[in-house]
Amino acid sequence: MPRAGLTAGYLPVRLLRVGESAPEHAGPGSAFSGLSAWLRRGDTPLRAFLRTETGSASVLAAATVAALIWANVSVSSYDRVWATRLSVSVGRWGLALDAHEFVNSGLMALFFLVVGLEARREFDMGELRVRSRLALPLLAGLGGMIVPIAIYLIANAGRPSASAWGMSMSTDTAFALGALALFGRRLPDRVRTYLLTFSVVDDLAGIAVIAVVYSGRIRVAPLLTGLGFLAVVLVIRARGVRYGLPYLLLGIAAWVAFYSCGVDPVVVGLVMGLLTYAYPARRAELEQASEAFRLFREQPTAELAASAQEVVRTAISPNDRLARIFHPWSSYVIVPVFALANAGVVLNAGFLARAYTSPVTLGILVGYVVGKPTGTAGAAWLVSKLSHGRVRPPVGWGAVLGAGAVAGIGFTVSLLIASLALEGTELAEAKLGILSAALAASGLTWVVFRLVNLLPKRPRLRALLGTAEVITDLVVPVDDARDHVRGPDKAPVTVVEYGHC
C-alpha cells in the first residue's frame, strides 16, 4: 500500500502534488511564494462575508440609536426629512417618490441583491451545495418562522394587526453575527456558518412574503414587462455576457416595472442575486491569468497591464465580483440608512406603558425571544431524531440553541414589513417590539454561551462542535490526468503537497 509522510504507518493515504511552486528566492509573503491566499491568510469568501456583516453591526446599532435620538428630540424634522419628494424624469417619463420610499424600495433592492448573492453562493459552493444537507437548515429556518408567526397570531387573534404577521419571522444577519461576535467570543466559524445557512431561508421567505402578501394592487401589464426584463437577463447570461452594464440597465428597467405594477421592487434585487452564478476559479482560467501576468512581467506596458487585469477579473465568478462591490455598501451604508429612516419612534412613559401591554408589541417580543430558539432548535432536534442521526446539525446542541437565540434579533426585514403593513400607533408599537426583541435576544444569547463556556473542556467542545462532519474542498480540484497522484482513491486521508516542480 502506498505511504507518505508521518501518517504512512497508520492510515492509507492518497498523495497529491498539485500546482506550481515558487522560485527559491521567493519569500513566504511574496507574490510568488507558492502558497494560496487561503493558506496564507486563512481567508475565504465566507469568512469575508461574516467579517463584513459582523463589522457592520456596530454601524447599524449607531444608526438605530441616532434615529431614536433624532425622533425624540425633533419628531417634526425627522418626519419632514423622510417625507422629502424625490423625482427623476426622462422626457415625458418620470418617477416620483419620497425619501422614505426611496430608501425602503430603492436602496433596499441592493441589500436584497446581496442576500440573493449569498444565498446563491451557499447553494453553489457552500454547505448547501450538498443537497442532502439542505433539509436541516430548510426545516430549521421554517421552524424559526412558523413558531414566531403562530405566537404573534395568537396574541393578535381577531384584530386588524394580525395581518402584519410577516414582521415576526425574519432574522437580521448583520445584527445576529454582531451579537455572536460580542457575546460568543472565540466561537468556531462553524457556528456562524450554521446561523447563516438557516437565516438565508427566512431571508428568502421574507422577501417572498413581501412580494405576495404586502404588495399593493397588481397591474398585469407592468408585471409582465418586469418579468420580460428578467427573462432577458437569463438569455444574455446563457449567451455568456459578462459585462456589468447590460445587467445594470435591465435591473433598473425591471425595478421600475415592478414598482409600477404594485409589487415591492426589492424583489428584483433578490432575483438578480439568485441568478448570479458562484464557482471557484477554473484551472484553465488560472493558467490564462498566470500567462497574462508573466507577459506583463516581461514587458510591463499599459496594454499588457489592462489585459492581465481583465483576464484575472473574468477568472473570478460574477457572484464573487458583485459581492465584493456591493456587500460593503449594503452593510455599512444602505442598511444603516434604512435604520435611520425607519427606527425612529417617540418614547415616553405613557407610550411605553401602553405598548408593553399591546398585542402587537408582545406578539413580536415573545415571538422572537421564545419562538425563534424554540422553532429552530426544535426543528433541528426533530430532523435528527427522525433521521436516526443521519442528518444532524453541523454544530453541537449548545451552539444550536445559542444560534436560535441570536436569530431572535429581527430588524431590517421586520421593520420593512412593519412599514408596509401598519401605520400610526400600531407601527410605533411594532418598532418598539422589534427593538425590544433585539435587546432581549442578545441577552438570552449571552446567557446561553455563558453557560456553555462554564462547562468542562470536553463537554464544552462537544456542545459547540458536535460530531457532524464538515465539508472541506480543495481550492482547485485535482486533475488525475495532470497531477501526480499516488494511493487508493478511497483512502480516508488525502495529503496535498505544494512543492517545487
Question: In 3-state terms, what secondary structure has residue 13?
Answer: strand
* Among 328, 329, 338, residue whose Cα is nearest residue 67: 338
Joined together, the cell numbers standing for residue 333 give 451604508
Residue whose grid cell is 446563457: 238
Query: Are 372 and 148 contacting, i.e. CB atoms less than 8 angstroms apart?
Result: yes
Quote the number of domains for the chain: 1
Q: Considering the domain boundaries, does residue 207 fall inside one?
A: yes
Q: What percentage of residues in the chain have a pLDDT greater than 90?
A: 27
In one letter, which amino acid is 36? S
Alpha helices in 42-107 (DSSP H): 45-73, 75-82, 99-101
**Number of other residues whose CB lies within 10 A of the CB of residue 431:** 27
Joined together, the cell numbers standing for residue 206 give 421574507
* CATH assignment of the domain containing 93: 1.20.1530.10
Q: Treating both helix axes as pointing N-terminal to C-terminal, what angle do 424-453 and 412-421 enclose, rounded to 10 degrees?
A: 160
* Among 361, 387, 384, residue whose Cα is nearest residue 439: 361
* C-alpha to C-alpha distance for 426 and 359, rounded to whole angstroms: 10
Q: Considering the domain boundaries, does residue 423 fall inside one?
A: yes
Q: Considering the domain boundaries, does residue 174 fall inside one?
A: yes
One DSSP character per residue, 345-373 reads: ----HHHHHHHTTSHHHHHHHHIIIIIHH
In this predicted structure, what is the pLDDT of residue 41?
44
Q: Considering the domain boundaries, does residue 468 fall inside one?
A: yes
62-84 pLDDT, tens per residue?
Answer: 899 999 999 999 989 999 999 99
Q: Are strands 493-497 and 13-17 parallel, antiparallel or unpaired?
A: parallel
**pLDDT band per the 50, 70, 90 thresholds, residue 292:** confident
Which H or E element spans position 1?
none
**What's the distance, CA 200 to chain centroid?**
6
Q: Which position has the higher pLDDT, 364 or 479?
A: 364
Residue whose grid cell is 446599532: 61
Question: In 3-state terms, what secondary structure has residue 300?
Answer: coil
In this predicted structure, what is the pLDDT of residue 498?
61
Average per-residue pLDDT for the chain: 81
**Statement: residue 25 has pLDDT above 50:** no
In this predicted structure, what is the pLDDT of residue 174?
77
Domain containing 170 equals 19-215+264-281+316-477
Joined together, the cell numbers standing for residue 158 give 381577531
* C-alpha to C-alpha distance for 256 and 259, rounded to whole angstroms: 5
In this predicted structure, what is the pLDDT of residue 157?
92
**Statement: residue 17 has pLDDT above 80:** no
Query: Are 179 and 406 contacting, i.e. CB atoms less than 8 angstroms apart?
Result: yes
Q: Considering the domain boundaries, does residue 339 fall inside one?
A: yes
211-267 pLDDT, tens per residue?
Answer: 888 877 788 888 899 999 999 999 998 888 877 889 999 999 999 999 888 888 888
Burial category of 186 from C-beta neighbours within 10 Å (exposed 0-12, middle 13-18, buried 19 and up)? exposed
Query: Are 9 and 16 contacting, i.e. CB atoms less than 8 angstroms apart?
Result: no
382-395 pLDDT, tens per residue?
Answer: 988 888 878 888 88
- Which residues does residue 14 pair with via DSSP β-bridges, in sequence order? 494
In this predicted structure, what is the pLDDT of residue 230?
92
Q: Treating both helix axes as pointing N-terminal to C-terminal, what angle do 189-213 and 397-406 enclose, rounded to 10 degrees?
A: 40
Q: What's the rounded mean pLDDT across residues 103-119?
A: 88
* Among 87, 179, 83, 134, residue whose Cα is nearest residue 405: 179
164-174 pLDDT, tens per residue?
Answer: 999 988 888 87
Query: Are 22 and 33 contacting, i.e. CB atoms less than 8 angstroms apart?
Result: yes
484-499 as b/e, with b when 16 or more CB fall inside 10 Å? ebebeeebeeebeebe
**Number of other residues whose CB lies within 10 A of the CB of residue 260:** 16
Model-level pTM? 0.75
Query: Are 414 and 441 contacting, i.e. CB atoms less than 8 angstroms apart?
Result: no
**Statement: residue 501 has pLDDT above 50:** no
In this predicted structure, what is the pLDDT of residue 118?
84
Q: Considering the domain boundaries, does residue 223 fall inside one?
A: no
- Which residues does residue 98 pair with via DSSP β-bridges, in sequence order? 85
Q: How many residues does the chain have?
A: 501
Q: Considering the domain boundaries, does residue 90 fall inside one?
A: yes
Q: Considering the domain boundaries, does residue 304 fall inside one?
A: no
- Backbone conformation region of residue 157, classed left if phi is above 0, alpha if psi is from -120 to 50, else beta: beta
List, in order, residues 6 or more apart from 126 with CB less than 8 Å away: 46, 193, 197
**What's the distance, CA 32 to chain centroid?**
33
In this predicted structure, what is the pLDDT of residue 50?
59
Joined together, the cell numbers standing for residue 138 give 430548510
Cα separations in angstroms, 449 against 193, 397, 445: 17, 11, 6
Query: Are 434 and 406 contacting, i.e. CB atoms less than 8 angstroms apart?
Result: no
* C-alpha to C-alpha distance for 174 and 138, rounded to whole angstroms: 20
Burial category of 162 from C-beta neighbours within 10 Å (exposed 0-12, middle 13-18, buried 19 and up)? middle
